Amino acid sequence: MSGCSDCGSCNSATVVEFPGSRTAPKAVAVIGPPNSGKTTLFNRLTGLHQKVANFPGVTVEQHTGIATLADGRSIQLIDLPGVYSLSPRSEDEQVAYDVLTGKRSDTAKPEAVLLVLDSTNMGRHLMLAAPILALGLPTLVILNMADDLRSRGGRVDLQKLSAELGAPVALVSARRGQGIDQVFDFLAGAMTKPSPKELPILQDVPKCRAWAGHVGSQASYRPPVPPKWTRRLDAVFLHPVAGPLLFLTVVVAIFQTIFTVAAPSQTAVDWLIQQFSNLVASGLPNGLFKSLLIGGVFKGVGSVVVFLPQILLLFLFIGILEDSGYLARAALIADRTMAKVGLQGKSFIPLLSAYACAVPAIMSTRTIENKRDRIATILIAPFMTCSARFPVYLLVIAAFIPNRPLLGRLLSTGAAAMLGLYILGFLMAVITARLLKSSILKSGRTPFLLEMPSYRWPTFTSLGLRLLDRAKVFLVRAGTIILLVSVLLWGALNLPYTNGHPPEISASLAGTVGRTIEPVIKPLGFNWKIGIGLITAVFSRETIIATLGTIYGMDESSNKEGLQAAIHHDLSPGGAVALLVFFAFAMQCISTIAVVRRETGGWKWPILQFSYMTVLAYVSAFAAFHLIG
């Protein structure tokens, strides 16, 4: 922190005193206990958009990013999963330990450490300082959440603390950006090895805690008063009656809002795409290329992109719930259910994040120490309704269920159907877990521990970054996988060429494939067009919309009526329900299969999971079609 008091002068653009690009960037690790705000700080320093939430265990893999200093040098930052100590017990702690000690080949050994501690709970968090300082790497001790500490009347003498720890200390608020300069100063300045006055025996937890307490009192640490608002809010959210009711209300309100804005937002985006498509069409000569662009690309990709506003809205709500700290309470309320099916509360958080996408959810199962519990959680995660199923549900529900009020203005039929599908997925996950835990994945119980974070206001930056990130993921997928599939599909629909004319759709290559598999899917109430959609949906679920958009777009008659009407025309009500059920249960996602293989270390589990889910989807869709007709 000292060597760079003249940083202002480094700022002048002409002076390049440091060999910026000549040497590889220094690697610096960011470590701290769970939910101490490491990732928020990391994002502040690097401008990267890692997922942050107000509950422990959000980061399960090391992420790297580059922090650019005022003088133009860059430093590689490694964001590590939260750990309570350096004696690893779960996979995410193992990752942190291995990176710090340079045992991981894929990550550079860090030359310095940013130790992030929650200043509002410094007594306990300082325990981690002992093993970190013992590593002997240059360390900056960052007391985060300074805003909380101050507002709740806590204080600490930084100079005395620094003297006691033998390492520089900074009091920052990563959320508000206060004190971040000091972190940059540390990264830019001379990093000296720590020289603490004394360190406890690391294996002895009571000794470590006593040491942390001693250091705290030497630094005249006054812990903040308990968060008043958290107690007050918990009195409501954890109330035996009001709590679960509120939980239900929140969920219903989210679905209802998404459904209320559905029609206008889709019309708006659709209109934009149509205008753009017309503009492009008017500038192109008639021919194959125009047909590909308008019929393949715009129809296909466009029909998926219209769902962007609703996806973003869903993530805005999830983001608010996560950042505020409410989700930890939801996990607490739901733990009973998890316990009944033999899973621990820790499984709940991966399952919640599976509502966004099963891939990060499966990665976040690393926080579960028990191997069998972890595999069970991985196997049931894809049943949770991910955001790729969301547009499919929206489309089919809008096409078949007239949106009428069900409970006054509180809940409409469409929103209720959507909620029902989410519950269906969750129930199937729970049933599957019960089956697994009472058969092949029996295990002893491990204690359930869940830290309840204080409630915090979600910040606009955090929510904004998150939405930007989701929009990017969604659009990138629309612009790559879905675009590619749309183009290939367009080709397959226009081949074979006879006498210079494209074939009838049913006689085309794609049509032939569709009609070949038709006997298999006919019992579910699907025709060959849906069949082609099911095949392309293997790449990712929402691709079926692009596929149907392209297929129906090529058909003159259905092109006029629009995708919703075309689907309504082609499916019986029973077939529609069968389609929804099929999508609820089938494992149509290559990325999920790949991540399950990686996380379980072999093909056994992904194959079992894929077969189970496919058979279940087929049988359930069959039953739905024949029951409803």
Residue ranges in contact with other proteins by CB under 8 A: 84-85, 87, 89, 120-121, 123-124, 127, 205-206, 209, 223, 226, 234-235, 238, 240-241, 243-244, 332-333, 335-336, 339, 345, 369, 445-452
CA-CA distance, 147 to 227, in Å (whole number)?
13
Using N-to-C axis directions, what is the helix angle for 371-380 and 590-600, rounded to 10°? 170
Cα-based angle 473, 40, 157 (whole degrees, multiple of 5):
175
Q: What tokens appear for 80 in the block?
A: 């590590």
CB of 94 to other proteins, least distance (A): 14
CB of 351 to other proteins, least distance (A): 16
CB of 337 to other proteins, least distance (A): 10
CA-CA distance, 328 to 314, in Å (whole number)?
19
Residue 415 three-state SS: helix
CB of 428 to other proteins, least distance (A): 23
Q: What tokens appear for 72 in the block?
A: 């133009």
Name which of 126 and 593 has its Cβ closer to other proteins: 126
Name which of 65 and 216 has its Cβ closer to other proteins: 216
What Cα–Cα distance (Å) separates residue 415 from each residue in 62, 166, 262, 272, 420?
38, 58, 10, 26, 8
CB of 22 to other proteins, least distance (A): 43
Q: Is residue 171 within a helix (H) or strand (E), and if so which, with residue range? A: strand 169-171
What are the residue ranges of helices labelled H in 63-157? Answer: 91-100, 122-125, 129-134, 146-151
Name which of 132 and 563 has its Cβ closer to other proteins: 132
Name which of 380 and 450 has its Cβ closer to other proteins: 450
CA-CA distance, 297 to 75, in Å (whole number)?
41
CB of 439 to other proteins, least distance (A): 22
Name which of 127 and 172 has its Cβ closer to other proteins: 127
Name which of 353 and 367 has its Cβ closer to other proteins: 367
Strands 169-171, 63-68: pairing is: unpaired
CB of 243 to other proteins, least distance (A): 6
Name which of 91 and 335 has its Cβ closer to other proteins: 335
Name which of 85 and 540 has its Cβ closer to other proteins: 85
Q: Are 393 and 418 in contact (CB under 8 A)?
A: yes
For 206, residues 6+ apart whose C-beta sits below 8 A from its C-beta are none
CB of 20 to other proteins, least distance (A): 41
CB of 292 to other proteins, least distance (A): 56
Name which of 240 and 500 has its Cβ closer to other proteins: 240
Name which of 309 and 453 has its Cβ closer to other proteins: 453
Closest CA to 576 of 394, 428, 413, 397: 397
CB of 126 to other proteins, least distance (A): 11
Q: Are 191 and 138 in contact (CB under 8 A)?
A: yes
Name which of 100 and 584 has its Cβ closer to other proteins: 100
Closest CA to 71 of 143, 146, 3, 142: 3
CB of 99 to other proteins, least distance (A): 20
CA-CA distance, 548 to 571, in Å (whole number)?
13
C-alpha torsion angle, residues 268, 273, 276, 281 (rounded to 10): -140
CB of 235 to other proteins, least distance (A): 7
Q: What size, in residues, is the chain?
A: 629
Per-residue H/E/C for 13-48: CCCCCCCCCCCCCEEEEEECCCCCCHHHHHHHHHCC
- Asked whether the CA dihedral 538, 539, 541, 547 is positive or negative, the reply is negative
For 247, residues 6+ apart whose C-beta sits below 8 A from its C-beta are 330, 333
Looking from the CA of 90 toward its CB, the CA atoms found within 13 Å total: 23
CB atoms within 10 A of CB 5: 10
Name which of 18 and 448 has its Cβ closer to other proteins: 448
Residue 13 three-state SS: coil
